[in-house]
């Protein structure tokens, strides 16, 4: 069994724009790949939209284009033709499309240089971006509804790990990524989010949705013990062997 022709451009987008997620999808069954590649291609396109221009209005327009496309999917209207939107419309339910639209709206923070308003705003950003993405992936792979909170806890840990890796680049771009960027503040943040982790009870078919979080809990534990590693850009990448182990055993090693 091979990927549907319409999904191949999505796979290329993910391969070029999100190598870690590309590896997790390629380790999953082909049927799962056909659903995950369009979803993750959307994430690549949306996450980079605020960064391809320094003009806030243009960045807003790029994000709005994706919001309009998701609205078309949600309402059942004819979706605009695009290498991502066409296969995406085949896999998303209206509720999923509306949820992902909320995630696109959250990306407006990336456009501007304002700090997060408070801890609640920061955590809402992580949940609406990383959380909405991972829960949608899990739902596409038949995760039970009662595991949503646990899946979102994994996504929160993974989202924070990815965000902390990006802190040096965000600061170099003139952003204020952390409410408290001191070593004490970073350690507290990593500890607070890490403590919320609950490993979901998912069928084997849905476990690939968790694989982008491999190693994230260990990384937050490292940050808690060595918070200076964030500012000094010393956080390690995900070890490839973790994905191999998860693919062979079917078990997540968050």
Q: What is the pLDDT of residues 163-218, one digit of tens each?
A: 999 999 999 999 999 999 999 999 999 999 999 999 999 999 999 999 999 999 99
CA distance 79 to 226: 47
Predicted pLDDT at 239:
63
Decide if pLDDT at 253 tops 70.
Answer: no
- Return contacts of 21-26, CB within 8 angstroms, 24+ apart: 21/212, 23/240, 23/243, 24/208, 24/211, 24/212, 24/214, 24/243, 25/208
* Domain boundaries, given as residue ranges, for the chain: 1-112, 114-254
CB 39 within 8 A of CB 137: yes
Looking up tokens 């590693």, which residue turns up?
229
Higher confidence at residue 14 or residue 245? 14
| Average pLDDT of every residue of the chain | 93
CA distance 71 to 77: 8
CA distance 229 to 27: 30
Q: What is the pLDDT of residues 132-176, one digit of tens each?
A: 999 999 999 999 999 999 999 999 999 999 999 999 999 999 999
Tell whether pTM > 0.75. yes
CA distance 205 to 151: 14
CA distance 127 to 134: 9
CB 140 within 8 A of CB 35: yes
Alpha-carbon separation of residue 180 from 116, 117, 122 (angstroms)? 11, 12, 12
Predicted pLDDT at 159:
97
What length is written for the chain? 254
CB 134 within 8 A of CB 162: no
| Mean pLDDT across 66-90 | 94
């Amino acid at each position: 069994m091979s990927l549907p022709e319409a999904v191949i451009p999505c796979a290329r987008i993910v391969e070029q724009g999100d190598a870690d997620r590309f590896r997790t999808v390629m380790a999953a069954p082909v049927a799962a790949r056909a659903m995950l590649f369009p979803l993750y291609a959307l994430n690549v396109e949306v996450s980079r939209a605020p960064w391809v221009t320094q003009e806030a209005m243009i960045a807003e327009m790029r994000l709005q284009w994706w919001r309009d496309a998701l609205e078309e999917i949600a309402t059942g209207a004819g979706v605009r033709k695009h290498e991502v939107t066409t296969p995406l419309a085949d896999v998303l339910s209206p509720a999923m499309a509306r949820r992902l639209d909320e995630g696109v709206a959250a990306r407006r923070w990336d456009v501007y240089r304002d700090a997060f308003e408070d801890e609640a705003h920061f955590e809402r950003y992580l949940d609406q971006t990383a959380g909405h993405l991972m829960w949608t992936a899990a739902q596409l792979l038949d995760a039970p509804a009662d595991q949503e909170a646990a899946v979102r806890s994994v996504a929160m840990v993974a989202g924070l790990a990815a965000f902390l890796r990006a802190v040096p680049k965000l600061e170099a771009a003139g952003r204020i990524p952390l409410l408290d960027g001191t070593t004490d503040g970073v350690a507290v943040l990593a500890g607070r989010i890490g403590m919320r982790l609950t490993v979901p009870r998912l069928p084997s078919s849905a476990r690939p949705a968790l694989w982008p979080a491999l190693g994230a809990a260990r990384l937050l534990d490292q940050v808690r013990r060595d918070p200076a590693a964030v500012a000094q850009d010393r956080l390690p990448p995900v070890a490839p062997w973790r994905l191999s182990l998860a693919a062979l055993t079917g078990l997540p090693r968050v």
